[in-house]
Structure 1
Amino acid sequence: MLVKKGIRTMGVNIEKVFGEHVFDDAVMKVRLPKSDFDRVKTLVHEGGEITEDLADVVAQAMKEWALEKGATHFTHVFQPYVISVGAEKHDSFSSIPVDGEIENTFTGKELLMGEPDASSFPSGGLRATCGARGYTAWDITSPVYIKEDTLCIPTAFCSYTGESLDTKTPLLKAMHAVSKQGVRLMRLFGNEETKRIYSYVGPEQEYFLVDKEKYMKRPDLIYSGRTLFGAMPPKGQEMDDQYFGSISPRVKAFMEDLDVKLWKLGITAKTEHCEVAPGQHEIAPIFAISNVALDNNLLVMDLLKKTAREHGMICLLHEKPFDGINGSGKHNNWSLTTDDGINLFKPGKEPENNKLFQLVLACTMAAVDTHAVLLRLAASNTGNDHRLGANEAPPAIISMYLGDQVGDVVDQIIKNGKATSSLSSGEIDFGIKKLPKLEKDPTDRNRTSPFAFTGNRFEFRMVASSNSIGDVNTVLNAMMAEQFEKAVEVLEGAEDFDKAVEEYTAKLMREHSRIIFNGNGYSDEWPIEAEKRGLPNCKSIVDAIPALTSESTIEMYKNCKVLSERELQAREEILFEQYAGVRNIEALTMVDIANKMLIPTAVKYTGKLADTILAVKEAGVEPTVQTELLAEVTDKLNEMKDATKALAEITEKAANAGDVQAVANAYKDDVMAAMAALRKPADELEVIMPKSMWPMPTYGDLLFEL
């Protein structure tokens, strides 16, 4: 049952609706001949070439199933680089009419390959405007589904010349690389059963909800996704009463509707709650294989926005839609697991004796330390610059948190060459007989750490809320593939394997111990300590972008066959252009709002004050307060007018600063400062002017009225 605005769902049975819009194993098993079903399963789990004859059989079954579900069109869904909302080109099933009659058709070729325009998406010079041809290729490992009467086929996207133009293709290549090198490592440890290593991801998605009518009166939200003006209301998040608080009926109805839609698409929406800031919420799924998690998160973001509109609200995915309160991130919970059920990040009951875990952990330390800036970049976008290091999100400094138990094991290895004991987790006793005793986890959680070990996985908390999770998981998998390969090269053929593992593990941990930090990442002391350790602190994405073409990145991606140097150079250019483009829109929006809304409103108010002053004087009373207020408003009005003119001039100058990197830096340094200079008097005017005259809904209106 779908939820309408203001109406609650009546007990939806998740077991009955889950996956009903997905062409999954259960559907294929019924609709495909057994031999073809087995061939598809083999391709999904072991890889291989998808032949056109098999594609024809699958396409026919897909078409019949889709038509029964009411679908009229099909589309290849792909994710162009830096465009996290995804892209689609819809084609109907209809064929060419013959004798006035038409049939529904869908061929294997149409399933396998699409041909969207590749000239208008960001390409960083890989494609000229006149070179429009691009290709999408069916990702057989990610389920096909029906959304809004359309059969949606997850695909990879490349240019006519073969370069990757999306976020999925590099991820699939990185997943293959970590699997290949991980299996080699398992063989050294005597495991002959493991055939593949899977990377799993559980992305926790944060977002804001605001009333749609109020949103439509905020041009800054419409054009840029964040408020470019706005004074804090008397109450913000300082009382912590929003976090895990009671969910309002209107938001609860939205969440219930969203859950049902996601369940029908086979997405395991598991957890939802109010977040720290007013109006902020979070939704989290159960883990999925990385490329499937990528496709699912795209759907989650899409349905968050569409479902919110159905309930008279707008979902804001921007990392910092409101100044002065917490912004939104996307915690990327990541793990590596073998196809025979071994979690490589699980310490086990005796982590001091788990040599495989210790080596994998050492490889992770080396990987994170070596590619710290690349990780910071992959997790970021322009909006994330407003969050990182602001005591609401992890600092921009990459470090690893290991917790007490694993941290102690690492300390022993660094000091003594091996570990001989481990700390017990213990239990929690509330001291009340009617309450159970709880077994403690072997590690605490550190919300100030960007890369925290949480028991059997790492939680990368730095990822931007509106970003695709493709880039960050490409880096995570590629960097582990690189380190696994290095470990295999060292350990292969060792006369005393156990001793060699111990020595190599200790070597890596000692060389990369600087990356471990278990303290408070929000403290003033940490950046100072990090600088002493030599850890990079890229406060803006602009400073991190050059990591894409660093020698270490080029070498890693080349060896893993993930991205070529040319592709990396193109992505570097795209990111510089995107940063400048976002800031340009924000700056022009501020100028537009100031000139058309705020300045005219302030002028009108000064006119009213002037009339009032004259009227009070005529009544024989000295208008002291009115005169002081008029002077104050006039001063801020003049300041705002000057700042508006300056911002327009500085923005135009920045756009012509030179090459793409110079332009991006000009927007970062000069335009951002000019934007802040304009916002200051505008926000001060909002505080002293009558609410009835202010031309836009305030923070109080947006944050506390759902």
Structure 2
Amino acid sequence: MVTSKGANLLEPGKTPAENISFLVFLTAVIKAVDEYADLLRLSVASAGNDHRLGANEAPPAIISIFLGDELTEIINAIENDTFFKSKKAQKMDIGATVLPHFFRDTTDRNRTSPFAFTGNKFEFRSLGSSASVATPNIILNTAVAEALSQFYDELKKSKGSIEDAVHKLVKKTIKKHKRVIFNGNGYTDEWVAEAKKRGLYNLKSTPDVLPTFIEKKNVELFTKHHIFTEPEINSRYEILLENYCKTLHIESKTLQDMLYAQFLPTLMKFSDKVAASIEAKERMGLKAKAEKGLVKKLDAAYEELFVYAEKLVEDTDKAEAMDDLLKRAYHYHDKILVEMGQIREIADSVEVYFPAELQPYPTYADMLFYV
């Protein structure tokens, strides 16, 4: 966040004027992220990103802000009108306008935070690799603009020194929005419970978050700042829903094709080979105990997969017959995704027995080491 002359507004300064600016813009971002966390989550919502969030070094679906220990202590000192002592033993009188210079936190310690302050900038880390940065930028810039607009309206009414007015404004904003600040591990169940206690959004899936786009407060935000008209918001909402449904429809149809055209025939072929081996061994007077156990597993998996495949076809057809896009999206999320996961689990359990020449697809090892 910079001025037209390139000055970084989130750079902690060494002078009173610089520090006032830093505090105002810092608290504006905190306020914006807290009030419009639903929109920030919406800006990164997709069928693919739903799988990613909350695992594999990706932040969780709960939007929170990481400030680092030292900046959090400064924020707490401002809120409580106490003295702040930095690591270099510098004191700050919170009633004054001076924020002590402190070291930038460039260590990037908390990979589980979706929105982290790293010295002189914020990083929004929830985007998937295929996502455009346009939507998060539109939403974040508009939300911060709204916070700054409210700050301006309040400050222009103030009497007395601007320093005192800013101090009161910053203190009030911190008190109201500090719930969104979290420096801990975002992957833990304790954080999920704590976030709920704080009243933060936990919008785990795309169907959960998309309806927030058309909520009154969000429509008012975009229309006030002339970003979108209400019809444009509604059309984008429908497009996002339809895109989610189409993505999962394609995934479902692809899985059906993989099952019927390749995996199930391969499973049957391998099962037949094992059964033939059992017959050959029994003719030799051998028990073939291992092969009999294996063929039972293969047969049971085939039966289960066939039933799930038929159910997947049926439920996918049901989804496409639904006129209500939100209901269709939830149907894909609650039924189709679950069924695809169950199919994947069964297929994974038996494909490990397939010999290399019968594998219908490249294995993970093939893709990782031989491509």
Aligned pairs, number: 358
Return the offset for 1:657: 3.3
Q: Does 1:367 align with 2:48?
A: no
Alignment of 1:444-463 (within 5 A): 444-445=107-108, 446-463=110-127
> SS of the residue aligned with 2:357?
coil
CA contact (8 A) 1:404 1:423 kept: no
Q: 1:514 aligns with which of 172, 175, 179?
A: 179
- Give, in whole Å, the separation in 2 of the partners of 1:500 and 1:374: 30
Deviation string 1:565-615 (CA, Å, 9 cap, x unpaired) is 110011111111111111111111111100000000111111111211111
Match of 1:543 in 2: 208
- Give, in whole Å, the separation in 1 of the partners of 2:277 and 2:16: 77
Q: 1:484 aligns with which of 121, 144, 148?
A: 148
Match of 1:527 in 2: 192
- Give, in whole Å, the separation in 1 of the partners of 2:18 and 2:73: 13
Match of 1:594 in 2: 259
- Give, in whole Å, the separation in 2 of the partners of 1:561 and 1:353: 31
Return the offset for 1:423: 4.2
Alignment of 1:645-656 (within 5 A): 645-656=310-321
Match of 1:632 in 2: 297
Alignment of 1:272-287 (within 5 A): none
Q: 1:381 aligns with which of 34, 42, 46?
A: 46
Match of 2:307 in 1: 642
> SS of the residue aligned with 1:448?
coil
CA contact (8 A) 2:73 2:84 kept: no
> SS of the residue aligned with 2:313?
helix
Match of 2:128 in 1: 464
> SS of the residue aligned with 2:356?
coil
- Give, in whole Å, the separation in 1 of the partners of 2:103 and 2:281: 71
Match of 2:268 in 1: 603
Match of 1:495 in 2: 159
Return the offset for 1:351: 8.5
Alignment of 1:324-363 (within 5 A): 336-349=1-14, 354-363=19-28
Deviation string 1:447-468 (CA, Å, 9 cap, x unpaired) is 1100000011101010111011
User: Given the superposition, is the C-alpha separation of residues 646 and 669 from structure 1 closer, same or farther in structure 2, using an over 3 Å criterion?
Assistant: same
Q: Does 1:703 align with 2:368?
A: yes
- Give, in whole Å, the separation in 2 of the partners of 1:505 and 1:695: 62
User: Given the superposition, is the C-alpha separation of residues 422 and 559 from structure 1 closer, same or farther in structure 2, using an over 3 Å criterion?
Assistant: farther
Return the offset for 1:419: 6.4
Q: 2:330 aligns with which of 649, 662, 665?
A: 665
- Give, in whole Å, the separation in 2 of the partners of 1:424 and 1:471: 41
- Give, in whole Å, the separation in 1 of the partners of 2:199 and 2:334: 25
> SS of the residue aligned with 1:495?
coil
Higher helix share: 2
Q: State the superposition RMSD in angstroms.
A: 2.0
- Give, in whole Å, the separation in 1 of the partners of 2:88 and 2:195: 30
Counterpart residue identity of residue 592, structure 1: D
CA contact (8 A) 2:45 2:209 kept: no
CA contact (8 A) 1:657 1:666 kept: no
CA contact (8 A) 1:580 1:664 kept: yes
Alignment of 1:137-536 (within 5 A): 336-349=1-14, 354-390=19-55, 392-416=57-81, 422-424=86-88, 441-442=104-105, 444-445=107-108, 446-496=110-160, 497-536=162-201
- Give, in whole Å, the separation in 1 of the partners of 2:59 and 2:360: 36
User: Given the superposition, is the C-alpha separation of residues 424 and 397 from structure 1 closer, same or farther in structure 2, using an over 3 Å criterion?
Assistant: farther
- Give, in whole Å, the separation in 1 of the partners of 2:278 and 2:225: 75
Q: 1:553 aligns with which of 218, 223, 231?
A: 218
> SS of the residue aligned with 2:358?
coil
- Give, in whole Å, the separation in 1 of the partners of 2:135 and 2:315: 33
User: Given the superposition, is the C-alpha separation of residues 351 and 377 from structure 1 closer, same or farther in structure 2, using an over 3 Å criterion?
Assistant: farther
- Give, in whole Å, the separation in 2 of the partners of 1:423 and 1:478: 36
CA contact (8 A) 1:358 1:505 kept: yes
TM-score normalised by length of structure 1: 0.49
Identity over aligned residues, as a percent? 39
Counterpart residue identity of residue 372, structure 1: A
User: Given the superposition, is the C-alpha separation of residues 425 and 463 from structure 1 closer, same or farther in structure 2, using an over 3 Å criterion?
Assistant: farther
Return the offset for 1:494: 2.7
> SS of the residue aligned with 1:512?
helix
Q: 1:620 aligns with which of 276, 285, 294?
A: 285
- Give, in whole Å, the separation in 2 of the partners of 1:356 and 1:470: 26
Return the offset for 1:517: 0.4
- Give, in whole Å, the separation in 1 of the partners of 2:89 and 2:137: 30
Return the offset for 1:442: 3.9
Counterpart residue identity of residue 667, structure 1: Y
Return the offset for 1:350: 6.7
Return the offset for 1:704: 2.3
- Give, in whole Å, the separation in 2 of the partners of 1:477 and 1:419: 33
Counterpart residue identity of residue 702, structure 1: M
CA contact (8 A) 1:637 1:681 kept: no
Return the offset for 1:691: 2.2
Counterpart residue identity of residue 557, structure 1: F
> SS of the residue aligned with 1:338?
coil
- Give, in whole Å, the separation in 2 of the partners of 1:645 and 1:425: 69
Tell me whether 541-550 or 620-629 shows the greater mean CA deviation: 620-629
